Amino acid sequence: MDNFTVGIVVFPGSNCDRDVSWALEGCLDIRTKYLWHESSDLSDVDAIVIPGGFSYGDYLRCGAIARFSPLINALDEFVKSGKRVLGICNGFQILTESGFLPGALVANKNLNFICDDVELDIVSSKGGWFNNLDEKQTIKLPIAHGEGRYHCDSDTLKKLVDNELIALRYKNNPNGSSFDIAGITNEKGNVLGLMPHPERACDEIIGGTDGLFTLKSLIMK
């Protein structure tokens, strides 16, 4: 895994790109490379993180403009090849806007920007993004979002449940998400989108290490 490189997408307005790089390089010794959104060359990265932030100032809708970047256009082939893509917060919003994941993320029910630690149940091990081998099936990760209320129609929700695509559910739903959903995968399991920030939970000194497993799983084949 010496040469394994994780690409971190940078949009105008991304603000968690350096956090993700710090967590991967500093805590896990995984090589990273920033990918400017106008690039469509993904040939030298083995996995991709779309980090949090406010791409294009959240204009129109969160993730709506980012969806049309050359990099997101190139992502289709990358995903089809089975390589892993992790969308965190704004990255999750971009993945739903661009159709890689179903549903949408809308304004929190209480209209507050919520910045807090939340308890999450690991629901599915699809894609191996979370450690569900331990007896403890609950992790604690920080959230920081104003538009993180997951919404989908009832047919989509049934499909998510039936195909075990719901990765994480909030123990105490903070934002009004349908079915307490905090993170979902695609059917193949190689794309994960979640509102909580695993990169902010990678060192005891900043409050916990429950995010390490998910970031480390980027190097899974």
Partner 1 sequence: MDQFAVKVFVRLRPSVLDPAGEATKSASIKLGAEGIKSLRIGKMIEVKIEGNGENEVREKIDLLCDRLFANTVIEDYEYSLEKL
Residues that bind partner 1 (CB under 8 A): 60-61, 64, 68, 96-97, 102-104, 106-111, 149, 151-153, 176
CB of 183 to partner 1, least distance (A): 17
The yes-or-no answer on residue 145 being catalytic is no
- 191-194/181-185 β-pairing: antiparallel
The yes-or-no answer on residue 27 being catalytic is no
CB of 104 to partner 1, least distance (A): 4
CB of 109 to partner 1, least distance (A): 6
Q: Which of 16, 37, 197, 202 is catalytic?
A: 197
CB of 108 to partner 1, least distance (A): 7
Q: Which is nearer to partner 1, 74 or 104 (CB)?
A: 104
Q: Which is nearer to partner 1, 110 or 138 (CB)?
A: 110
Q: What is the 3-state secondary structure (H, E, C) of the chain?
A: CCCCEEEEEECCCECCHHHHHHHHHHHHCCEEEEEECCCCCCCCCCEEEECCECHHHHCCCCCCCHHHCHHHHHHHHHHHCCCEEEEECHHHHHHHHCCCCCCEEECCCCCCCEEEEEEEEECCCHHHCCCCCCCCCEEEEEEEECCCEEECCHHHHHHHHHCCCEEEEECCCCCCCHHHEEEEECCCCCEEEECCCHHHCCEHHHCECCCHHHHHHHHCC
Q: Closest by alpha carbon to 139, among 49, 217, 207?
A: 207
Q: Which is nearer to partner 1, 99 or 204 (CB)?
A: 99
Q: Which is nearer to partner 1, 28 or 106 (CB)?
A: 106
Q: Which of 89, 97, 145, 202 is catalytic?
A: 89
CB of 198 to partner 1, least distance (A): 25
- 166-170/114-122 β-pairing: antiparallel
Q: Which is nearer to partner 1, 149 or 197 (CB)?
A: 149
Q: Which of 16, 62, 199, 202 is catalytic?
A: 199
What residues are labeled active site?
A: 89, 197, 199
